[in-house]
Structure 1
Amino acid sequence: MRSRTRGSRLAALLTVPLAAVAWLGLSPSPAAATGPSTPDAVLSYLQEISGSHVVSGVHNKEPLADPSRYTAQAHDLTGKWPGLWGGELGFRADDVAQRQALVNQAKTEWANGSLVSLTWHMCRPDVATCEFEGGINGSRLSDSEWQQLTTDNSALNKAFKAKLDTAVPYLTQLKDAGVPVLFRPLHEMNEGWAWWGGRPGANGSARLFRITHDYLESKGLDNLLWVWNVKDTAANGGSGGVGNFYPGDDAVDVASLDPWVKGYPTGDWYQAMLNTAHGKPVALAEVGTVPTPAQLAAQPRWAWFMIWSEYLTTANSASGLQSTFNNSRVLSQGQFTLPSGGTNPPATPSGPLTGVGGKCVDVAGSATANGTVVQLYGCNGTAAQKWTTNEDGTLRALGKCLDVTGQGTVNGTRLQLWECNGSGAQRWVAESDGHLRNPQSGRYLDVPGGSTADGTRLQIWDRNTNPWQTWHLPA
């Protein structure tokens, strides 16, 4: 195991814009060793950077006894430590025996300032450990076996849950250490190379994902962010069929794609992932060739990319890696601060939100009904103009949230007050020059035509340099 404690590195100051490192109203801080956090905090951070930045990542496959081999190679090639460390829970007996080394490294990577991702190539439920060929790939269950697997308290169902139990002590250690885990089980489920994949429909692969989700949550593992994953395959309807494998919003935190067929997602796959995610973050969970800066700019909503282990050197040149890792859009370790979830969170800023003409963002008539107009109005110190900026990315007044009407994403969609519901229509990111971005739409808080008349209803619009897109948040 490579333990990489680098005190001087951790003391470096951040150099990226506010939008990449902070919640609304918060300022960048030194990249000190990362303390305990929560999945909600990490999810909010991923929402914030969506559309403007992407976290670099590298997977570290077996052997688990050397759980940071490829991360170290990336540093050798680029001079940067990836912002996301990927690990594998293992399937061979010798690797399963090294899970403690994996957990120890995950703690180190989090403490050093990297996000932690875990993939699990699970053996069939009826075997304890296995080889990849014949144990994972090419070991398809019969339809009758699948039916048993997805039926509570059947022999195969119990065996599957017993296999999940083998990971619980290690995932619990990460929970106890305050390490949120981007957990990606049963990946590439829309293709049938693995025993768990290629089964669309209500009792198919998505059903097994939900069983996995519900069972591990019943074990108290509330530190997991559930990363659902598909491949850019033509099988099972291609990009138009991914919804047949989606287990539901309540079982998914991040929707991710492995673009192995085309090397980088085609436009239809990018849009399919955005459509299926319903405003949740999307990510490139496995890539071979590192995305170019131009590709990332053309598809700006990916929250991270993770280069797959040996492809770091077999499918990439040093110059190509350096070009991407040094791009201003790409965040590596030390270029962002992982969110804190400690017991003493910073005070929530509260006060007026002011814009063009020195006027305030106002809830019309101080009403609290869902759908109440949000407008520009002369500042008057009332509660209708008192906004709090929250760690979940919301702006709140009168107990409700600033909301994009109908979860709209087109220019001119009006804003309203609505009960807070965790949707992407209610998340806002403060950029360093005063712009406020809604990551779900990729558009910005805007005053139509720059009008300063009282009662002008606010909207979202493409980013521009007009003064009516500059806002001053409560301190």
Structure 2
Amino acid sequence: MTTRSLRAVAAVAVAVAAGLLPVVVAPTPDTAAAFAPTTRATVLAYLRSVTGSNVVSGQHNKEPASQPGQYTRQVHDVTGQYPGLWGGDMMFRADDVGNRQRVIDQAKTEWANGSLVTLTWHACSPTVGRTCEFEGGVKTRVTDAQFQQIVTGGTALNQTWRNRMAEVVPYLRQLRDAGVPVLWRPFHEMNESWNWWGARPGANGGAKLYQQMRDYFDSQGLDNLVWVWNVQDNPAGGWAGYHPGDSYVDVVSLDVWYKSHPSVGDYQQIQSIAGGKPIALAELGKMPTGSLLDSQPRWAYFMIWSEHLRGNNTDTEIRNAYYHPRVLNQGEVNLGGGSTPPPTGKIRGIASGRCVDVAAANSANGTAVQLWTCDPDGTAQAWTRAGDGTVRALGKCLDVDGGGNADGTRVQLWDCITGNPHQQWRYDADAQTLTNPATGRCLDATGQGTADGTRLQIWTCNGQGNQRWSVPG
């Protein structure tokens, strides 16, 4: 059982002790979604399978390495969801390098909880110490002569660089031995000049450095690495001039910093370089919008950069991205079954023609659930029938208020609690009813109302129109 399952079960236990819930044996559906040890081929096949239909949500976690899940937790604070992709870094400063083990441990935890794993490395230049500051250490320039020494075997700088790579190998081996494939993104933004490895097109430039790292890591048995090549959306273009070759790259990715979102030209250029391989948005400052995801459907995943999550996005923008029907979050990434996520869509009243709606799109606990005119694009009406029997919107669950059992007990939005029987719903396709098995009562529009704002409740099942619903899937 994962730590998150334990917390959820603990919450149920508290509710039982308070008399709010009957004693039940709580299932742990998130362990069913957890990932077993697997190979890089499985992750690559999965990314190919979602291309064009879905996109995996992702969040980077930067320094300090002692808190390698801090920004992922912020996602959950806002959305009630965890990202489908966790991002970390092998780091550069002395204290962060000293905490690399925490990064690896977090990667194992995220994998066990059902998220893909990606790692970046802001490596110190071989011309400075093995640990460094960002300014003058990672963000620095080496001369052309120094760079050629770095990529030429037998030189002092080449040996220094090989020693640096050797320090990382044991950490990546831990993930290999645990069966955790890693979307490994070295030498990111290869077409930019801020870093010591960048702005060197051609066969003897950054591409050669990338090739040498792959050759070395392959020789060390790191067959769990999915090799991600990366450029930034520099308007100068010419990104293909930095590519190390198809045999060295598994995923082609773009960092978007010159603008909020990739342009049509960016999207086309990346696809041209990828040649049918998966493509990804490896760094973003702004959450992708529905229009972006609809117009550029072939991105396999996106990753928001650490502090930009809250610093550059409103809570509503974050929720809209995570609740988008095509976006796959933790628990929805299914490595065993391809790209099919739980069904998401509108729950429509047969009698009223109106949709089940979260009042004012408010995700706070206790928010009313009501009938409202159906909104084609409304996230407040996007309900997911999850595999654990819950019905979810805005990252929370359709819930019977206070665990009540009586006719007329209102339904509301509430934090999902593993095993809570008053958040379980069973759909009968013949009767078109949604029943809460704990009470045996049906989801019901109060007073057989059909107007906007009619509250929903549970009521003894009677077959009337105000208890009949069409549901997604």
**After TM superposition, is the score higher than 0.5?**
yes
Q: Which has the larger radius of gyration?
A: 2
* 3-state SS in 1 of match to 2:45: helix
Match of 1:317 in 2: 314
Match of 2:274 in 1: 277
Match of 1:86 in 2: 87
Alpha carbons 2:190, 2:230 under 8 Å: kept: yes
Matches of 2:132 and 2:5 in 1, distance apart? 37
Match of 2:76 in 1: 75
Q: 1:278 to 1:12 in 2, by over 3 A?
A: farther
Matches of 2:254 and 2:154 in 1, distance apart? 32
Deviations 1:352-381 (A, max 9, x none): xxxxxxxxxxxxxxxxxxxxxxxxxxxxxx
Matches of 2:28 and 2:259 in 1, distance apart? 38
* 3-state SS in 1 of match to 2:65: coil
Q: 2:240 aligns with which of 240, 243, 249?
A: 243
Partner letter of residue 173 of structure 2?
T
Match of 1:326 in 2: 323
* 3-state SS in 1 of match to 2:291: helix
Aligned runs of 1:17-56 on 2, under 5 Å?
Answer: 31-56=32-57
Q: Indicate whether 1:132 and 2:129 are aligned.
A: no
Aligned runs of 1:176-255 on 2, under 5 Å?
Answer: 176-235=177-236, 238=237, 241-255=238-252
Match of 1:267 in 2: 264
* 3-state SS in 2 of match to 1:6: helix
Alpha carbons 1:37, 1:179 under 8 Å: kept: yes
Alpha carbons 1:52, 1:301 under 8 Å: kept: yes
Aligned runs of 1:365-384 on 2, under 5 Å?
Answer: none
Partner letter of residue 232 of structure 1?
D
CA RMSD, 1 decimal: 1.7
Alpha carbons 2:229, 2:253 under 8 Å: kept: yes
Partner letter of residue 256 of structure 2?
P
Q: Could you list the runs of 5+ residues in structure 2 that have no partner in the other structure?
A: 10-25, 338-473
* 3-state SS in 2 of match to 1:61: coil
Matches of 1:98 and 1:79 in 2, distance apart? 28
Partner letter of residue 4 of structure 2?
T
Q: Could you list the runs of 5+ residues in structure 1 that have no partner in the other structure?
A: 15-29, 341-475
Alpha carbons 1:83, 1:333 under 8 Å: kept: yes
Matches of 1:272 and 1:285 in 2, distance apart? 15
Match of 1:145 in 2: 146
Deviation at 1:108, TM superposition (A): 0.4
Deviation at 1:335, TM superposition (A): 1.3
Deviation at 1:154, TM superposition (A): 1.3
Deviation at 1:6, TM superposition (A): 2.1
Q: 1:200 to 1:11 in 2, by over 3 A?
A: farther
Partner letter of residue 291 of structure 1?
P
Alpha carbons 2:152, 2:158 under 8 Å: kept: yes
Matches of 1:272 and 1:135 in 2, distance apart? 31
Q: Indicate whether 1:123 and 2:120 are aligned.
A: no
Matches of 2:230 and 2:336 in 1, distance apart? 24
* 3-state SS in 1 of match to 2:4: coil
Deviation at 1:338, TM superposition (A): 3.0
Q: 1:306 aligns with which of 303, 308, 327?
A: 303
Q: Indicate whether 1:292 and 2:294 are aligned.
A: no
Q: What's the TM-score once normalised by structure 2's chain length? A: 0.65
Deviations 1:72-130 (A, max 9, x none): 00000111000000001010000000011111110000000000000000000132100
Matches of 1:31 and 1:198 in 2, distance apart? 45
Deviation at 1:336, TM superposition (A): 2.3
Deviations 1:411-458 (A, max 9, x none): xxxxxxxxxxxxxxxxxxxxxxxxxxxxxxxxxxxxxxxxxxxxxxxx
Q: What's the TM-score once normalised by structure 1's chain length? A: 0.65
Deviations 1:277-315 (A, max 9, x none): 111100000000100011111000000000000000010
Matches of 2:183 and 2:67 in 1, distance apart? 20
Deviations 1:378-435 (A, max 9, x none): xxxxxxxxxxxxxxxxxxxxxxxxxxxxxxxxxxxxxxxxxxxxxxxxxxxxxxxxxx
Partner letter of residue 286 of structure 2?
T
Matches of 1:276 and 1:143 in 2, distance apart? 26
Matches of 2:173 and 2:121 in 1, distance apart? 16
Alpha carbons 1:57, 1:86 under 8 Å: kept: yes
Alpha carbons 2:183, 2:225 under 8 Å: kept: yes
Matches of 1:102 and 1:136 in 2, distance apart? 19
Match of 2:5 in 1: 6
User: Size of the alignment, in residue pairs?
Assistant: 318
Match of 2:334 in 1: 337
Q: 1:231 to 1:11 in 2, by over 3 A?
A: farther
